[in-house]
Structure 1
Amino acid sequence: MKTLILFIVLLFSNLMISATETRVMIRAKARDAKFIGSSLGGAHIIVRNKLNQKILAEGNTTGSTGNTDLIMKTPKIRGNSIADDQTGGFMATIDIDEPTFINIEVISPLNSKQAQAVVSTELWLIPGKNILGEGIILEIPGYIIDILKPRTHQYIGLKTIKDKPFLFQANIVMMCGCVIEKGGVWNSDEIEVTGILKKDGKFVKNIDLSWVSTNLFEGSHIINTPGNYELILYAYHEKTGNTGVDKVNYVVFE
């Protein structure tokens, strides 16, 4: 019996010794913007063995969104990193004993469900061959859009709004949380923001929203009939093809 126990212990020890710690830096970067870090709640990272789908590492990116000048204004040169020691990322520490084909999945932004996108990539990981520095960067497309007015399923009396401009309002930011401003790095003049208004399931009108202050867009329309209304609001940037959408339903009653 002692011999058997000793054999099992030695076997287990050999297995543990044969596994090699391998580190991989994984980052999520918003399309046409900066990295997703702590200020936005991070991006969720899952690393799986492609063969059997076993989770090898999992966690959230932490750190800053990065250096704006370095990321957005400095020409990219081969070998030069756009990330520094403070830039948001997740360090995956994985024990493997042979080359392993892995899948990396990024879910972001973690705390903005309506804007959440899932992006993935696959690569071979070699025992002891770390992937550090800039690491593996996955691009997250989209905009985070929150319709502020009207509120979800808000009941609005027709008498209070009849023959008056009804205000539509939305907060829009890049997927890293970077601000949208008039003439800024992320220029509001280049982003088309439009609301598709429906009443009882039928199209009413397209409503243009304009920038009024940091991240805030507004538009209006006169509503003179009761019904079940829906607003589908989108942002579109022609140069990058970046898009984002939010929806809200509200009720106007007599």
Structure 2
Amino acid sequence: MTKPAGILTLLLMALLIPSQGWSIPAEEEPPPDPHLNEPKATTIVVRVVAHGAMVIGREVGGARVTIADAATKQILATGIQQGEAGDQNQIMRTPRTMEEPIYSSRPSAAFTTTLELNRPTFVEISAEGPLAHPASMQRTTETVLLVPGQDHTNDGIVLHLYGYLVQVERPKPGDSLIAKEDAKLRASVRTLSGTLVRPHGDWDSRKITIYGEVLIGNRIVERLQMFYSGESSSFEAPFFVPAVKDAPDGIMLRVVATDLSTGNSGMGTATYPVITERLNPALRH
């Protein structure tokens, strides 16, 4: 009769050195994913906004968006952002938590594309606008990692453009100015999204430094304090037209608006020939 200790030894040996009849079945591995290396459709929303203001939409010509592979510089998508500037009450006055959408809570302009990605890809997303105002156009670029199948929707990837739209309105650019006469400079100031800058508004002109300058060549001959005219987004100041001998090639008027609290600054310029006063022929006799 086999002793109990011998039986235990035989059982341990069977477990440690399994024979063909004592083999322990291995766990089955899952089959490989046949689509693992296939490109995945990835939807990307890009929204270009005026910093501290609204979305850059059709009112100011929209913005051009380009998405390029950061490593190879290959352009993956490009197009024009068009649409509405968004709901001013929702964007500027509605409190919200960090994860809540700001610009997509109501319809607003955006650029949307779907990329076929087969690997995580660093891309450079660039935006320039507003396209209807070349003199005030700004450009910015962000580098973002896109992951296949991970969509960027709702607000999407938001790019901010800094600045103001500043346009000299009076005197009409290119008109001749009569030497040694008093004249009035008038300019409009708006955000890059086209919204009005005025006292007590969402974009309060009292917080913005707005001034004008009279230049002969590159030399500033007079600096002007601009005041709100009472009309939509317009500011004005009187100035003195130099003598013809002092400005043989005419003058330039320059208007600058800057807000240090937001980092927004904008500039508008216009040039004018200066002429001597022409008397009415009827008054010569």
TM-score under structure 1 normalisation?
A: 0.86
One of 56, 59, 63 as aligned partner of 2:79: 59
* Bigger strand share: 1
* Alpha-carbon distance between aligned partners in 2 of 1:87 and 1:198, rounded to the nearest angstrom: 41
Partner in structure 1 of residue 213 of structure 2: 196
* Alpha-carbon distance between aligned partners in 2 of 1:56 and 1:244, rounded to the nearest angstrom: 32
* Alpha-carbon distance between aligned partners in 1 of 2:153 and 2:205, rounded to the nearest angstrom: 35
Query: Residue 218 of structure 1 aligns to which amino acid in structure 2?
Result: E
What's the offset of the Cα at 1:238?
3.4
Q: Residue 244 in 1 paired to residue 259 in 2?
A: no
- CA contact 2:177–2:241 (8 Å) conserved in 1: no
Counterpart mapping for 1:1-254 below 5 A: 18-83=38-103, 84-158=105-179, 162-163=180-181, 165-212=182-229, 213-226=231-244, 227=247, 228-254=250-276
* Alpha-carbon distance between aligned partners in 2 of 1:18 and 1:93, rounded to the nearest angstrom: 15
Aligned residues: 236
* Alpha-carbon distance between aligned partners in 2 of 1:237 and 1:85, rounded to the nearest angstrom: 28
Tell me whether 172-181 or 221-230 shows the greater mean CA deviation.
221-230
* Alpha-carbon distance between aligned partners in 1 of 2:82 and 2:270, rounded to the nearest angstrom: 31
* Alpha-carbon distance between aligned partners in 1 of 2:62 and 2:251, rounded to the nearest angstrom: 34
* Alpha-carbon distance between aligned partners in 2 of 1:51 and 1:36, rounded to the nearest angstrom: 29
- CA contact 2:87–2:106 (8 Å) conserved in 1: no
CA deviation string 1:74-125 (max 9, x = no partner): 2341211102251211112212222211110000111111111111101111
| Cα root mean square deviation, aligned | 2.0
* Alpha-carbon distance between aligned partners in 1 of 2:222 and 2:275, rounded to the nearest angstrom: 19
CA deviation string 1:25-50 (max 9, x = no partner): 10011111111122222111000011
- CA contact 2:162–2:263 (8 Å) conserved in 1: no
Name the CA shift for 1:32/1:134 in 2 (closer, same or farther; >3 Å). Answer: same
Unpaired segments ≥5 residues, structure 2: 1-33, 277-285
* Alpha-carbon distance between aligned partners in 2 of 1:243 and 1:85, rounded to the nearest angstrom: 28
- CA contact 2:225–2:237 (8 Å) conserved in 1: yes
* Alpha-carbon distance between aligned partners in 2 of 1:157 and 1:78, rounded to the nearest angstrom: 57
Rg larger in structure: 2
Query: Residue 124 of structure 1 aligns to which amino acid in structure 2?
Result: L
Query: Residue 235 of structure 1 aligns to which amino acid in structure 2?
Result: A
What's the offset of the Cα at 1:197?
1.2
Identical counterparts, % of pairs: 24
Query: Residue 67 of structure 2 aligns to which amino acid in structure 1?
Result: V
What's the offset of the Cα at 1:171?
1.6
Unpaired segments ≥5 residues, structure 1: 1-13
* Alpha-carbon distance between aligned partners in 1 of 2:71 and 2:259, rounded to the nearest angstrom: 39
CA deviation string 1:162-211 (max 9, x = no partner): 44x30111121101111122211112222221112112443211011211
Query: Residue 66 of structure 2 aligns to which amino acid in structure 1?
Result: I
Tell me whether 138-147 or 31-40 shows the greater mean CA deviation.
31-40
Name the CA shift for 1:91/1:85 in 2 (closer, same or farther; >3 Å). Answer: farther
Name the CA shift for 1:98/1:201 in 2 (closer, same or farther; >3 Å). Answer: closer
